[in-house]
Amino acid sequence: AVFPKNIDLRGGGWKYLYSTLVGSAIAKIVGANVAHNSKFDNTVTMWVFEEMVDGRKLTEIINTDHENVKYLPGHKLPPNVLAVPELVDAAKEADILVFVIPHQFIGRVCDTMKGKIKINALGMSLIKGVDEGPDGLKLISDVIQEKLGIAMSVLMGANIANEVADEKFCETTIGCKDKEHGALLKELMQTSNFRVTVVEESDVVEICGALKNIVAVGAGFCDGLGFGDNTKAAVIRLGLMEMIAFARIFCTAGPVSSATFLESCGVADLITTCYGGRNRKVAEAFAKTGKSIEELEKEMLNGQKLQGPATAAEVHVILKSKNMLDKFPLFNAVYQICYQGHPVAEFIKCLQNHPEHM
C-alpha cells in the first residue's frame, strides 16, 4: 500500500484542555522522526487553541521560538512542527491524525472535522477515557471511527509527558488490528528512548488507558490519608484485578489475553500513574484539604483536565446499568467519594472488604 505523507497532531483544543502538554510532547517525537524519513511529509501540523501569552499569540511563539511556553516550557520543538489555530485547517490535508484531547470533548471535535478530512486518513487516539453507548461501554476510538469513518488505532503506556519530552527512556503500546498500519505507526512514533510495542487487542489497550486513572485516584486518596506503600500496593493490585475483570466483561472483539496487561499500557502505566500522575496528585490534595475536584483542578493543573473522576462517573453509569456495581468496589468507591459526598476516610473499607476473586 502507498501511504500519503502528511502528519497531523492534535496539539491543543477547547480552552481548558490538557492536550497541549501531551500533544506537544508527542509532536516533538513525531517532528524529529519525520524529518529523517522520506516516507513521511516533513511538516507536522499541530492544532493549538489560540491564546495570548505575555502579549503574544501562542501559535506565533511556537512557530517562531519553537517552544510551547504555556504547557511544555523549556523544551524545544522541531522547527517542522507548525502550530495552527483552526482545527479544520490543521486536519484537512492530513493523512495520519493523532488525537490527544480530553475524552469529554471528542464529540465536538469530530463534529467540526466531519466531512472536511481525507476519507482514507488513518487515526490514532491517545485519549484516555470511555463513553456511554446504547449497550453500555463505548470506546473513544469507536466514537471517532463512527463519526469520521476512518480506521483507528490507539497508543497507551507509561508515558508521563514531561519525561517523554525530557527523552527519558520509556515504553508504550500501540493497539492496532491491521498489522500494516501498526508497522507504519510504530515507525512514526518509535525512538531510541520511546520504545513501541504493537499488539492487536486495541480495545484492551484502550480500556487499560482509561481505567488506570480511576485506580490512580484511589492511590492518591491513600497518600492524602497518610497510608503507606503497602496500602498503595493493595490499591494497585486490586485496581488491576478490576481492570482485567472489566475488560473481560465489556471487550466483545474476542477473548482477552492476560499478556496485554503486562505490556506498557497495562501494569506499567498503572504503576506510573499511581505514583506520578496528576490524578494521584489531585486526589491526595482532595483527601488533605476537603476542596472539590473542580477547585483543585483550577488551582493545581494550569488549565489541564483531570480524567480519573470523569471516567469513574462514566464507568459507574455503565456498571449500574448492568447491575454490577458490587463487583467493582474500588471503582465505585472513587465515584462515590468524588461525586456523592462519601467520606474519603472510608475509602480503605473498599480494600478491606474487596472480594478475593473476581
Domains in the chain, please, with CATH?
15-200 (3.40.50.720), 204-357 (1.10.1040.10)
pLDDT at 299: 92
Residue ranges for the known binding site are 49, 105, 128, 161, 278-279, 305, 307
Query: Which of 211 and 71 is assigned the larger pLDDT?
Result: 211
pLDDT at 14 over 60: no
pLDDT of 74 above 70: yes
pLDDT in tens, 234-289: 999 999 999 999 999 887 666 788 899 999 999 999 999 999 888 999 999 999 99
pLDDT greater than 70 at residue 6:
no
> What per-residue confidence (pLDDT) applies to 12?
36
In this prediction, residue 9 carries a pLDDT of 52
> Do 77 and 28 form a contact (C-beta atoms < 8 A)?
yes
Which pLDDT does position 135 carry in this prediction?
Answer: 63
pTM: 0.89
212 is catalytic: yes
Which of 28, 70, 76, 212 is catalytic? The answer is 212
| Residue bearing the bigger pLDDT, 358 or 54 | 54
pLDDT grade, residue 3 (50/70/90)? Answer: very low
Other CB atoms within 10 A of residue 99 CB: 27
pLDDT of residue 301: 86
Residue 93 clears pLDDT 50, i.e. is over it: yes
Binding-site residue ranges for NAD(+): 49, 105, 161, 278, 305, 307
CA distance 329 to 327: 6
Residue type, 334: V
> In this predicted structure, which of 4-13, 54-63, 207-216, 239-248 has the lowest mean pLDDT?
4-13
Q: State how far the Cα of 322 lies from the Cα of 335, in Å rounded to an integer.
A: 16
Give the β-pairing of 56-57 and 52-53. Answer: antiparallel
pLDDT of 11 reads 42
pLDDT band at 344 (very low <50, low <70, confident <90, very high): very high
- Give tens-digit pLDDT for 318-339: 999 999 999 999 999 999 999 9
